[in-house]
Structure 1
């Protein structure tokens, strides 16, 4: 493939080498910033895929974002796809340095483009005659494989760190998984820890699993000392939040153990999920408009409430969480008792409702989602009711048949 088969007359973005900033091309470092909510990623070439899908039946939108952004290359890039390994390595290094310069200047979107184009020289998508998507990994000589793997690992790690800076944590994890296909080493896992530390949705138990890894890496490489400090501070802060959470939770325990209907918080969680789905689409739609920041801030409120509600729904009286058990003991509750287990469920449901009600949501969008969820719930209930009616009808029919058979048998027996 000598060039991009979908090259349009207009270029999708500026030449990656134009207007390069001047700082030295040092690789991105793992300096932990404040934890934040993930933002959905929109490919710079999204519009080109939409236009192409109008004329082709191929589901280009289902392609992984890695391949989306390495398919529509500049002609400057595509002509290197058929070159030998050394020629590709030279241009990949040039692109990586360009990405590093943009990263050092906090131009993360430009840095991503450079890393994406560099990655695309070795891996890209093309279409065969029967319009079946084939993912091509450009082959190289066996002697070049170690050099290629080292080059790709460095490139993909830089790419993942840049995505984390842009709060695209889901996509950063995909990049790291791609890196693990070349070679799985501790450096990739450390960057994965960096990715999870930045994502506010990461659970406490998930971070704890990384502690032995980080200690082992620090024993041989001191450059991750700052990352370890950030890790320890995050763990300590999450422990404080858990203490505050369970102090509030056990204060909610009452003598009233009336359990609400199961749907009392399932419906609320469905509304939150529906809200988040709508905001995901809106963020992509309003990406380059003035409304983007407003939509982003509204979605963060949905994410915040969603995290709290799922945290509440996930806890169980049998979890054996040390912090939970210590707070239960100080409050005078033995969670092994049946009555206290009922109180546990009642407190959980009550707090989920309170959590939902304190959310500062967009009212118009909230009412729309509530209506949609209620309609879905009524449809499911109606289907269930019909199924119950049919089941009852058949049960009655069978019982009547049995009774009739008994009567006929007894009548026949008496005649003899």
Structure 2
């Protein structure tokens, strides 16, 4: 715990330099980079509480003995983190795994190897972490596969796309590894007929355009009641058309670049396929270099490509609905189940609706992008293998449970 507190102090003292690496490698705007260092700092501080948590339970037994379950370190934890929030999605596994007595091998995305890998290693090195307990292994698929198949690595914590997560899960299962999968999403924001449209559109724009839409919890589906649909689309389009896009290292912008050309081309292909299929381009749909304009697609259907697929770009498809029963069925029809936002003046109505839609996270009167170090974070369905990170969930994620009995004498047996 003392070592982790030192690491947190070093992290905080060097936050401006760390944020520059986040901007440089991941393309975040300055406030988003500051948010990343802030949440990462919170993850470290939350991990400092783990060594003092109860680590076992006394159990009843038929025998005259002491029977208890204790949590013990798993050994070596492999962490595979993505490019979009490289520090948060790395440190939220690295810090608790170390706090609970494990060694860690961290494989950051090669595109964010410094801010998502070297920074973490340097901070813990300066804090006094003993040699050999944290290794950084930037690399591609081959490095990830080696990490998963190595017999000394007992737990894999993976954050990435659902397609990649399936491969990780399959390989881990063949080697009998415990694997935590935090995967993709196509999260819905439901806008009911009683909302303040201006506030709703502000929340919707944040949910879809923050960090260029490159977040697993990004609002990928806007389900809007027909009574406010036209006004909502107009408000979203107006916001999209006025958000400045450019280099976050040199200008005051709202959106930075897409991570690379391959991802930009995927985003644009989905937008183009959607307009070809009949969607109306209310805003955006163009790019210059890696800078993609925030895009609003109206008159979409459940078959529209940018609605039906995770875009991972600044695209907001808006679908019209008429009744609560209809929107419950539409929202629940996705194969993903990560985050859900419901905007309404009647919060109990919103909660009742949320209970009809599978999702690991629900926000009433907020958009879909949110996370805190103290909360149990995780998705259902194709968004992952359930709650596993944050707060007390870390105790189960990064330890093994061992049953122990003790008695004063050897039990007599008839053999």
Shorter chain as denominator, the TM-score bin is under 0.3
The structure whose residues are more often helix, as a share, is: 1
TM-score (ref. length: structure 1): 0.22
Tell me which structure has the larger Cα radius of gyration.
Answer: 1
The structure whose residues are more often strand, as a share, is: 2
Using CA pairs under 8 Å that are at least 6 residues apart, name the structure with larger relative contact order, 1 or 2: 2
